[in-house]
């Protein structure tokens, strides 16, 4: 996993063209349910679009617990 970059939750990283995908829990369930700060998911979406990276939401735990449509509907940010 030498080519894997781990960044702190709720901090939007600056991406470049070497990044193929970003996998993020929209609500950090494994950290005692930490909600995304204002602009966090939107910022990641913008960074992914800017460099052509795929945005993946890991909703194994949150899934439809946030409502119909999951986190993308709840926070109005659409992953790929």
Tokens 């679009």, located at residue: 49
Q: 10 is written with which tokens?
A: 């709720």
Total count of domains within the chain:
1
Residue 27: inside a domain: yes
Q: Specify if 63 maps to a domain.
A: no
- Residue 31 within any structural domain of the chain: yes
Percent of the chain topping pLDDT 70: 99
pLDDT on residue 14: 96
- At residue 29, the pLDDT reads 85
Judge whether 47 lies within some domain.
Answer: yes
End-to-end CA distance of the chain: 23
16: pLDDT strictly greater than 70: yes
pLDDT reported for residue 44:
98
Look at 1 and 14; give whichever has higher pLDDT.
14
> Is 49 part of a structural domain of the chain?
yes
Is 40 domain-assigned? yes
- Spell out the long-range contacts of 4-9 with Cβ–Cβ below 8 A and sequence spacing 24 or more: 9/34
Within a domain: 59: no
pTM for the complete prediction? 0.89
Residue 62 lies in a domain: no
Write out the residue range of the structural domain in which residue 35 sits: 1-54
* pLDDT tops 70 at residue 63: yes
Considering Cα of 24, then 29, then 32, then 33, what sign does the dihedral take?
positive
**Residue with more model confidence, 64 or 44:** 44
């Amino acid at each position: 996993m030498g080519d894997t970059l781990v960044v702190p939750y709720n901090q939007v990283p600056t991406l470049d063209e070497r990044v193929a995908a970003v996998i993020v829990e929209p609500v950090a369930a494994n950290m005692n349910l930490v909600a995304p700060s204002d602009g966090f998911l939107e910022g990641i979406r913008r960074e992914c679009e800017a460099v052509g990276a795929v945005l993946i939401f890991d909703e194994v735990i949150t899934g439809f617990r946030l409502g119909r449509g999951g986190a993308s509907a709840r926070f109005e940010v659409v992953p790929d």
